[in-house]
Structure 1
């Protein structure tokens, strides 16, 4: 409740002096919100807090129940390749320090998350499998809304990248990548993670085997060619020997043939090796040319900067949308939002599409220009390695060319010597030489092919799976218990804030501290009697007492041992000591507005004064809307109006007696001018007459803000009580009433907080435990006779 300044009230004895009231009984914390006040606010707003908690928790619980369980499986890839020095391969215009950065796995992560080639390779494997191994359940990633049109490889690959797969770097500084797969089936999650890891390892292996594969393919072609040549040579020797009858060569001719065959085979082998090296050299030069072109594109490309810019734009757009969604959550799922929301959604969609395009282009560049785990310089490391291999291949080519020339020269020398032998021997020797050369070359090529195959298989790539994925035993989403607890906590906090905001904006009086913060004296507090009436009288409005139907809220008469009756007795004591220098004989009871309990309070107060042995007169001075006669079950006439229109002294014996020493003067007939009657000289004389015949006179006056009667009558009374009803009376209305009394010089004895529910205010249940304790009382809890 907002604090208001003290009202300015003029004291009777000190005109113009500011009035702050008598010392109040209960004061709140004037400096700020203390713990008790906070707990009081939360207790008062418990239904708001509970409703907020339920409003947040119920949708979260329902969502958690309806959402399928998701499982996460992961495999770990070890990425290991030694970098080479980049100084010899960097272009002269690029500073070396630009590339000397710490090793990281950003390129490999980008390839795993964005490479279309890799995703399609995994998609093909999953489509071939079709079902989860071991369980034979269909793969959920292959489910299609339209069974008539099966999914394509591209569609499955897109699903993989968007919904099922993501990668991250392992912690601890190791060059390792964790490949995470998510699915509603734990076995499927493990299958996808393993498929992705194996496909990536195969991809790196294919890159490492590129040059070795070129040599192996060339040697396979040469082995097949030489094998055919050997078969033809064998057939030629056999045919010639059968046709010419040649069976053997002379010893010298045999030696020359052997020498020529050996040299011929050596020359052919050297020629094959030369062609192999040339093929390998061409493959290396082609790869280097491709790599240098891609590296040049990478150096001149600004895709990295574009990706950063697009991501910042996406974050900004999402932030703006979330601001609108937080103000109106219904906009989040509205298919036809306002124009500004639709524009933001459209811009966000275009930005996300642009991000995917740039990321894919960047992944393809990274995949093409890097062979290592490493960093942005891995492509230059590969270029340095290729240049080193090209240099070695060129040296080998020159050596093989020299060997071919040398062997050719010696072969010409031996062929000259062979020309001196007989013609038949020469022909046979030539055929034998070709056969032996083909045989020798075939054996050498076969051996080289086996070595090339071994070399190719030995290239394992720079990434390998060191931990395969296993089906998880527990779902990671949704976390139903955690979500429910968080929703309840958020509801508690949000509901608490709503409750605090509601109380801070609430101008109603709820506790005695609220009156104390306004600077008004609190002379008494009366608890609510609704529960008592409901429990003891079944909620009836009246109960019979000595033949009269008395309002059940007049508890001091019906049940003197009730807790509320004790509150009225405490109020009686406080009134008697409110003015030590004056004997309080006339008491005015009023309120700011109707319905705040002034008539009930005046009736109960009259009863407890009478119970104390005082001769009490209760006067219903509310000539506009009198209610005392209804509450006490007596006739309305004759009453105060009749007394004001006569000059006779008041006769106590002619008044209604509700109990011993308790006399009641009702309002009487309807008066056309209540204010004039209340302010008349006859009223003053009547009050003086009442003083002489009664110990206590209690006036039930109209509300202050409804009529001036109470203000006029307050100048003729010893004590003025203003009734405030807890939960209904507003602070500014009460302040206006107090100001109206101060304007005529009335100094109220204090305020009475009526219908105060002690259970709704933290701390008061302990302060009033004795006074309002349910076990407190003497004798019977009910009194049916006065």
Structure 2
């Protein structure tokens, strides 16, 4: 302890073998005035997520809770499925009379099954389902058993929005709609005019029910939304699934869609056949009229044959020959088409021959022949069935009986088609020969026959031609009538829907997982947004950018109870009266192996071994605002310097809110106030602490005009006296923005250490405080980032190392 005379401090002798260490402050690098790179490193993102972990947890809980609530409130859904098969039943029933499928140039790229699926999804089919099941009448509350309803009929004129209330008695059911009340026994219809309902029995546990009439379009869209269609792979089977909140309704919906699909397909085919019949009948009427006119002309000619001149006979004969030439050219072109088709069929089933035959079959000359077109359509169908069996994942070998049967049918129909084509070619050749003969005879008759005979021959041929056309049209009419009479479409119902029984899984796991992901994304996004909007310091870069000074230390959480390794030091921390001192925040002494204690030692090392700057004997510790941990930093930093062997004096210059004496477990008075006022000698105010070579000058009593007292000449003389005796004088001052004391003392100190608290100190406050200190000439040697709430992170990974070391020390001592 130094010796004093009056109020003057006399230094104690220093051994020459131990030179006094020299501390050097760290200058402010120029780089802290430059711009900081844009963006946030990945570790800062992680730190931001940790700071707002509560928000992420809340977002996840809210998201999953909402989804769970919706799942619990969701009405159970049932699904039933029926199966249909697409066939050409009309062709099978009518044989070769039924016309084959007519395809144009674009028809080769159309999938017939997908076309039928689109028909199944049409509003026309859904409208039939709505009318057959009475889906326009919907219960206002879900859960009404559909099994109790036998039939529902809603007239097209029923206005939407009307409600029908039912009361179920033991022997009857009562209904009321628009003031009209009716009653009927179970099994009997309740006719309310626009609505007629028949209940098969009394629903269990439902005394009353209310139904509402909805718009027809809304009912159609609802039915389409509840229906799903899928094609069974590599087949012509279609599965129709219907989803509803009642198992009976799901079954009825799937069966109703299958039946409506079959009926619509049948009516569509019949409509096409009817239009064809009507067209043929119209052509037949016109041709009959032309035939009557030609017959009348022939009769009149025969009566007045003498009225013709030789010139007229010659002209008529020449016109007949010209017509025969044109007819012969048409027949020859048609014969060439059939010859090419026959050669293509004879060349085999190669790709080029198949495409050639398909192109010829699409020509008007071939498609007009119903027999050949029917044979070709049958051949295409068998070839398509064979391709379905021999290709794909479940393809079958050529030795398969089904494949061999299809090969046999393909060969048979190919032969039949080839013979039909050859027969047609032979018939055309015969007609050409006949025309050649007739033309030869006509050419000879020009000079041989009288003019009257030539005219009569022309008229006779015209009558014969028209008569033949009439016969063909009558045959076409008969075929169209037979085709129209066939009561079958392209849809065959294979399986009707069964009772679904089990409830459809609403995808609870999938939805909860999705809710978890959404909650994580929303929480993480909100955390990052809040972190960006937060103006408080949370990163080292924030401090260095705002204050243009380096962060020399990051102090983690302090104030935790000392570990077992420091139990042996408790006796040293006891006061003279046997009571423990109030030194919970003095971790540099209490828990020397903690992460906080090591952080203060790193701070001490940084200040001691800096290679640049001016010599430093007085160090001022302050902060921009209150409650940022400057007093704790002052006390622990001074203790670490003393533990290094330096003679340290720590002064509590925060006279308004003095706390340093409590950290060391000393009384507040007498202290700095009494020394500056000359009331107490310095040797009485200076008190030794329980840390060797560390003396404390407490604040003393609170007096008015604190700034004037600290800014007076007495404080300057005191600082010079103490810096001459001690290796380091550490001064704890009030916050910069709270009072002018820090600025006054900062101008008198060698260096200044600023303490900021992560998550609390505002960026602009820290920047303003640094600017004020630099304005009075204070040298800021560094920034201590106090992080008691782990706003920055990165300390806990070192705590394991120190804890393990402490446990090993305790084990060795035991």
Equivalent residue for 2:724? 692
Contact 2:623 2:734 in 1 (8 A): yes
Distance 1:521 1:379, change over 3 A: farther
TM-aligned CA deviation for residue 84 of structure 1: 7.4
Equivalent residue for 2:533? 505
Contact 1:50 1:495 in 2 (8 A): yes
Equivalent residue for 1:277? none
Match for 1:63 among 54, 70, 77? Answer: 70
Equivalent residue for 2:54? 47
Equivalent residue for 1:749? 781
Distance 1:700 1:661 in 2: 18
Distance 1:140 1:762 in 2: 70
For 1:263-412, list aligned pairs within 5 A.
Answer: 371-372=268-269, 383-388=275-280
Give SS of 1:500's match: helix
Equivalent residue for 1:109? 121
Distance 1:715 1:771 in 2: 41
For structure 2, the residue ranges without an aligned partner over 5 or more in a row are 1-26, 91-98, 139-144, 153-162, 168-173, 176-189, 198-211, 292-479, 567-572
Distance 1:392 1:662 in 2: 128
Distance 1:51 1:633 in 2: 43
Match for 2:584 among 552, 561, 584? Answer: 552
Give SS of 1:659's match: coil
Equivalent residue for 1:478? 506
For 1:36-185, list aligned pairs within 5 A.
Answer: 36-77=43-84, 78=86, 104=115, 106=118, 109-115=121-127, 117-123=128-134, 138=148, 146-147=166-167, 148-149=174-175, 152=196, 161=220, 163-166=222-225, 179-185=240-246
| Residues 417-462 of structure 1: CA deviation (Å, up to 9, x unaligned) | xxxxxxxxxxxxxxxxxxxxxxxxxxxxxxxxxxx99999842134
Distance 1:653 1:643, change over 3 A: closer
Contact 1:576 1:584 in 2 (8 A): no
Contact 1:71 1:472 in 2 (8 A): yes
What TM-score, normalized by structure 1, do the two folds share? 0.57
TM-aligned CA deviation for residue 775 of structure 1: 3.7
| Residues 379-414 of structure 1: CA deviation (Å, up to 9, x unaligned) | 777523432256569999999xxxxxxxxxxxxxxx
Distance 1:65 1:28 in 2: 54
TM-aligned CA deviation for residue 189 of structure 1: 1.9
Contact 1:75 1:468 in 2 (8 A): yes
Distance 1:32 1:714, change over 3 A: same
Distance 1:152 1:523 in 2: 88
Equivalent residue for 2:41? 34
Equivalent residue for 2:258? 197
Contact 1:75 1:197 in 2 (8 A): yes
Distance 1:603 1:139, change over 3 A: farther
For 1:369-768, list aligned pairs within 5 A.
Answer: 371-372=268-269, 383-388=275-280, 458-472=486-500, 475-476=503-504, 478-518=506-546, 519-532=548-561, 545-546=575-576, 547=579, 549-578=581-610, 580-646=612-678, 650-651=682-683, 655-758=687-790, 761=792, 763=794, 765-766=796-797, 768=798
Matched residues, number: 518
Determine which structure has greater relative contact order: mean sequence separation of CA pairs < 8 Å that are 6+ residues apart, divided by chain length: 1
| Residues 125-153 of structure 1: CA deviation (Å, up to 9, x unaligned) | x99xxxxxxx9954699898634326736
| Residues 183-233 of structure 1: CA deviation (Å, up to 9, x unaligned) | 23456423321133124424554x4xxxxxxxxxxxxxxxxxxxxxxxxxx
Distance 2:129 2:613 in 1: 100
Distance 1:75 1:398, change over 3 A: farther
Contact 1:510 1:756 in 2 (8 A): no
Contact 2:623 2:755 in 1 (8 A): yes
Equivalent residue for 1:322? none
Contact 1:194 1:469 in 2 (8 A): yes
Give SS of 1:481's match: helix
Contact 1:525 1:753 in 2 (8 A): yes
What TM-score, normalized by structure 2, do the two folds share? 0.55
Equivalent residue for 1:228? none
TM-aligned CA deviation for residue 605 of structure 1: 1.5
Distance 1:50 1:642, change over 3 A: same
Contact 1:594 1:703 in 2 (8 A): yes
| Residues 747-780 of structure 1: CA deviation (Å, up to 9, x unaligned) | 211111113455x6465544x4577656458856
TM-aligned CA deviation for residue 490 of structure 1: 0.6
TM-aligned CA deviation for residue 73 of structure 1: 2.8
Contact 1:652 1:663 in 2 (8 A): no
TM-aligned CA deviation for residue 500 of structure 1: 0.5
TM-aligned CA deviation for residue 727 of structure 1: 1.9
Distance 1:477 1:144 in 2: 33
Distance 1:177 1:659 in 2: 90
Distance 2:36 2:801 in 1: 24
Give SS of 1:663's match: strand
Distance 1:761 1:678, change over 3 A: closer
Distance 1:386 1:772, change over 3 A: farther
| Residues 622-676 of structure 1: CA deviation (Å, up to 9, x unaligned) | 1222222233332222211222123997327853544322211111222222222
Contact 1:68 1:184 in 2 (8 A): yes
Distance 1:697 1:774, change over 3 A: farther
Give SS of 2:621's match: strand
Distance 1:45 1:535 in 2: 33
| Residues 37-64 of structure 1: CA deviation (Å, up to 9, x unaligned) | 2222222221101100111111211221
For structure 1, the residue ranges without an aligned partner over 5 or more in a row are 1-18, 88-95, 128-134, 208-370, 373-377, 400-451, 538-542
| Residues 670-728 of structure 1: CA deviation (Å, up to 9, x unaligned) | 22222222222221111111012222211010000011111111122222111111221
Contact 1:591 1:702 in 2 (8 A): yes
Give SS of 1:507's match: coil
TM-aligned CA deviation for residue 558 of structure 1: 2.7
Distance 1:764 1:527, change over 3 A: closer
Greater share of residues in strand: 2
Give SS of 2:784's match: strand
Distance 1:509 1:776 in 2: 33
Distance 1:663 1:615 in 2: 8
TM-aligned CA deviation for residue 489 of structure 1: 0.6
TM-aligned CA deviation for residue 70 of structure 1: 1.4
Q: For the aligned residues, what is the CA RMSD?
A: 4.8
Distance 1:79 1:676, change over 3 A: farther
TM-aligned CA deviation for residue 161 of structure 1: 3.5
Distance 1:469 1:554, change over 3 A: same
| Residues 512-557 of structure 1: CA deviation (Å, up to 9, x unaligned) | 34424544311111111144479999xxxxx954546314112223
Contact 1:74 1:468 in 2 (8 A): yes
